[in-house]
Amino acid sequence: MLSFDRLFVAALAALALAACSSAPATGGSCSSDADCGGAGFHCHLGRCYAPVASASGGSTSTGGSSGGSTTTGGQSSSGGSSTTSGAASSSGSTSSGSTTTAGGSTSGGSSSGGSTTSGGSTSGGSTTSGGSTSGGSTTSGGSTSGGSTTSGGSSSGGSTGGACPGGCTAPFSCDAASGLCKNQGVPQLSHVWIVLMENTNFSSVAGQSASSYMVGTLFPMGVEMTNFTDGMVHPSLPNYLCLTGGDNFGITADGPASSANYQVASGTLDIAIQLENAGLSWHEYSESQTSPCQLSDSGSDANNDHYVSKHNPMPHFLDTQASATCQTNDVSWEPESGMPGIAADLAAGTAYSYNFISPNLCDDGHDTCTSTPLQQQDDWLRANLPTILTSSAYQRNGLVIVTWDEGENDTDQIMTMILSPMLKSPGTQNGTLYSHFSTLATIEAGFGLANLPAQYGHTDALITDLWK
């Protein structure tokens, strides 16, 4: 028979093991960094996030990592989602291809207490519009805890909206109708991919045959935005800057990031810096790019001219260009010069919170190469978009936006297609007036970040009428 002392020691060991096993995995709920367990894991807006990839391109891994990001047991480090043998678990139970919370499981969503949702989580909480509520106080454009207000999307304190699995942390609150945590009407996002095509009129894209990938496949699974504009700026580079920084910053022509005429001054935020400041990850994938954070035009294709710096916005912001993270995060879409490419990243379970994707001058339809520009766009999307749409990262509250920089001959109406498991009515059209500024502000709201376009007087509406 064991002595009392030995029984006491065994009991303490069991308690310690239980405490360790209860620490949330990446994507689990939390109120402080200590709740996430493991060195480098941190709590952001009520969710545990793995460490962001180091600036030197190195990685910390337990069980394997890819693309310079940090993984633990195969979990992806980006945006708070995790991939562990196709499933994530909480409260000690494990599911396959879904998330289990307190004994309930879902398909494509999460549930608590045995109730199930599709593409989200079950509800029963407070709903806010244009702000967030915590402890009875409401904020607009920031978050509130114990009466103090912060800006830039940061928050402190406990969770709100107890019926959403894990709760919601300001500036997000639980939307009772959908079971999604929302901020200003925008659901909390896990991962975003924005694909930018070139110089095509809305009518040309909408008028394709049903056999095209865009009309036959993407339209039925997404929402076709029929009243979307480019923000009335031209040519290409100003549009790319508006999509990533909230303004054109006085730049009205195209040119490389290596030239001072096409650079945005230090001290100016872009979404890359915003994400890094919030502990979130980003990647710019440019097709035919031959070196990380490339500032001048070149390419790896036969004509050696298909990568252009004007379609790679992040290095145009001097703070991002000067950051060591530009070397690890601004890379080629396909395997190139030691850069693994997005397909290899996703296959390894590495999905970044925010992804800006620029096909090369043939595939984005800027140039006429193998066929018509529109056919080149459709062929590229057919060949490449399924890699994202079939990923587990997309299925966990992800968002894909396929849009165009501007119409042909500088016209302003453009096609935009929005795809997400959180859409309430896939296969429909939406006629609300939105713009490139709406796109950026909506993504920022979904990550709990400050609205950059509004800081420059662009108060275009957030995209709020598509979601469950």
Q: What is the pLDDT of residues 303-328, one digit of tens each?
A: 545 899 999 999 999 999 999 999 99
pLDDT recorded at residue 35: 73
Q: Rounded to 10 degrees, what is the CA torsion of 156, 161, 167, 172?
A: -50
Is the pLDDT at 159 greater than 90? The verdict is: no
Structure confidence by residue, pLDDT tens digits, 348-376: 999 999 999 999 999 999 999 989 999 99
Q: Where are the strands (E) in 389-466, listed by range?
A: 398-404, 413-419, 428-430, 434-435
Region 440-467 average pLDDT? 98
- Nearest 5°: phi and psi at 26? -50, 130
- Cα–Cα separations (whole angstroms), residue 54 to 60, 323, 392: 9, 12, 24
Closest CA to 72 of 87, 82, 57: 82
State CA 293 to chain mean position distance.
20
Q: Which two tokens stand for residue 55?
A: 């600036």
- CB neighbour list of residue 303: distance below 8 Å, 6 or more residues apart: none
Q: How far apart are CA 293 and CA 282, in angstroms?
A: 13
Structure confidence by residue, pLDDT tens digits, 277-302: 999 999 999 999 999 999 998 765 54
The domain ranges of the chain are: 25-105, 132-186, 191-455
According to CATH, the topology of domain 191-455 is Alkaline Phosphatase, subunit A (3.40.720)
Q: How far apart are CA 190 and CA 392, in angstroms?
A: 11
Q: Where are the strands (E) in 53-177, listed by range?
A: 61-62, 71-72, 88-90, 93-94, 99-101, 104-105, 132-134, 137-139, 142-145, 148-151, 173-174
pLDDT recorded at residue 49: 52
- Nearest 5°: phi and psi at 67? 70, 20
Cβ neighbour number for residue 192 with a 10 Å cutoff: 24
Of residues 316 and 407, the one with the higher pLDDT is 316
CB 67, CB 58: distance < 8 Å: no
pLDDT recorded at residue 415: 94
Is the pLDDT at 108 greater than 60? The verdict is: no
Structure confidence by residue, pLDDT tens digits, 163-204: 788 899 999 999 988 999 999 999 999 999 999 999 899 999
Structure confidence by residue, pLDDT tens digits, 69-104: 333 333 333 333 333 333 333 333 333 333 333 333
Provide the pLDDT confidence category of residue 230 given band limits of 50, 70 and 90: confident
- Nearest 5°: phi and psi at 358? -120, 105
Q: Rounded to 10 degrees, what is the CA torsion of 442, 444, 450, 452?
A: -70
Torsion over CA: 291, 83, 450, 279 (sign): negative
Structure confidence by residue, pLDDT tens digits, 110-120: 333 333 333 33
pLDDT recorded at residue 98: 34
pLDDT recorded at residue 306: 86
Closest CA to 414 of 246, 233, 220: 233
Identify the weakest region by mean pLDDT among 119-123, 235-239, 380-384: 119-123
Which residues are bridge partners to 100 per DSSP?
89, 105
Structure confidence by residue, pLDDT tens digits, 11-34: 444 433 333 333 444 445 667 767
| Sheet with strand 93-94: strands edge to edge | 93-94, 88-90, 99-101, 104-105
Structure confidence by residue, pLDDT tens digits, 231-241: 667 789 999 99
Average pLDDT for the chain: 75
pLDDT recorded at residue 406: 83
Residue type, 180: L
Q: How far apart are CA 349 and CA 214, in angstroms?
A: 27
pLDDT recorded at residue 300: 53
Q: Which two tokens stand for residue 354?
A: 């925010």
Provide the pLDDT confidence category of residue 48 given band limits of 50, 70 and 90: low
Cβ neighbour number for residue 37 with a 10 Å cutoff: 18
pLDDT recorded at residue 193: 98
Provide the pLDDT confidence category of residue 411 given band limits of 50, 70 and 90: low
